[in-house]
Copies of this chain bind each other. A is one copy, B any other.
Amino acid sequence: MLEQRVTIIGLGLMGGSLAMALRPFVRHLTAVDIDDDVNRKALQEGLVDAASPDPAEGVAEADLVVAAVPAQSIVVVLSELPAWRPDGCMVMDVGSTKKTICETMETLPSDFAAIGGHPMCGREHSGLGAATPDLFRNRTFALCRTSRTTHDIEGLALKMVECLQAQPLFLTPARHDRIAAMISHLPRLVSAALMRTAAEVDDALLWPLSSTGFQSVTRLAANNPSVMRDILLTNKTAILQCLARYEDHLSHVRTLLEADDQADIVDWFEASREEHEHYQSKRRSR
């Protein structure tokens, strides 16, 4: 049982799932959502002990504040926090990018302890309705230390990760953002662009003929648009680099096809198959 009073800001997919998973382990849980219907629903269902649309009220007695809103809003929360809590408190986040957020954490007054967090999991749907307590189970929970990270908040973050049945993994914010651009942010762009391309096709047989492959590759096209905007804006450089390399690969295979280069086309797909196999073996072994 965690003795600390915890306030979660933002009760969407991440914040809601966090509340559900932490509920049995936290003595006092408060929700702060901009949508008061969400607060009422969380209270009615007994998901939290208190809820308010007013962040100053919601964080007033918190030992730990968890910011679970889109990345740019997390930056706003961190900037406002000293006004809401002049005496300081502990704060962590579960945002999709870490560099901008951790840099903002480092500007907090010294009464604040802060650590960056990012559970590497998700669902294609958003909002409290999509939340589930097992979202984090067996997933990697990335943790980024900052100059505001104390022994206490690191210990509390690790306890929390344990409650979620996730695996903690420490890395620097810059390394996190470079990797996340490749294995999380670019795939969402790729998936959404495919959906947008297909949606232009005006043929009634398009969807009846579509199968599990299309379903799988477009799964991330349903991502929350505000979350996506904030991911792109707060990890712009790394995402643009990955996107440029991705566009080069596409352009290369297009050139091979334009030239009817049968042998190189086979080699290209053979390499992709081998890389996929290597990736699967790494996944299985972790």
Q: Interface on A for B, CB 8 Å cutoff?
A: 120-122, 124, 139-140, 142, 169, 171, 175-176, 178-180, 182-184, 186-201, 203, 205-226, 228-229, 232-233, 236, 239-240, 242-243, 245-247, 249-251, 253-254, 257-258, 260, 262, 265-273, 275-280, 282-283, 286
Is the Cβ of A199 less than 8 Å from the Cβ of B279? yes
Give Cα distance in the complex from A277 to B225, angstroms: 13
Is the Cβ of A209 less than 8 Å from the Cβ of B180? yes
Is the Cβ of A265 less than 8 Å from the Cβ of B209? no
Of the candidates B142, B184, B242, B249, the one whose C-beta lies within 8 Å of that of A214 is B184
Give Cα distance in the complex from A187 to B215, angstroms: 10
Give Cα distance in the complex from A218 to B282, angstroms: 14
Is the Cβ of A179 less than 8 Å from the Cβ of B206? yes
Given contact pairs A240-B257, A269-B225, A279 touches B201 in the complex (Cβ within 8 A): no
Is the Cβ of A254 less than 8 Å from the Cβ of B271? no
Closest to A180 in B: B209
Residues of B near A278 (CB, < 8 A) are 199
Residues of B near A258 (CB, < 8 A) are 240
Residues of B near A197 (CB, < 8 A) are 182, 186, 242, 245-246, 249
Given contact pairs A175-B203, A217-B220, A286-B208, A226 touches B266 in the complex (Cβ within 8 A): yes
Give Cα distance in the complex from A209 to B269, angstroms: 25
Given contact pairs A216-B220, A225-B266, A225-B270, A196 touches B247 in the complex (Cβ within 8 A): no
Give Cα distance in the complex from A283 to B195, angstroms: 14
Is the Cβ of A220 less than 8 Å from the Cβ of B226? no
Give the distance to chain B from A119, nearest Cβ to Cβ, in Å. 9
Ranked nearest first, the 4 interchain pairs of A and B with the lowest CB-CB distance are A225-B269, A199-B275, A192-B272, A207-B282
User: What are 28 A-B pairs with beta-carbon distances under 8 A?
Assistant: A120-B209, A122-B211, A124-B276, A142-B209, A171-B205, A182-B201, A184-B214, A193-B250, A193-B253, A194-B246, A197-B246, A207-B282, A207-B286, A213-B220, A216-B219, A217-B220, A222-B273, A223-B273, A224-B269, A226-B266, A228-B265, A229-B266, A232-B265, A233-B257, A236-B260, A240-B254, A243-B250, A247-B250
Closest to A126 in B: B273
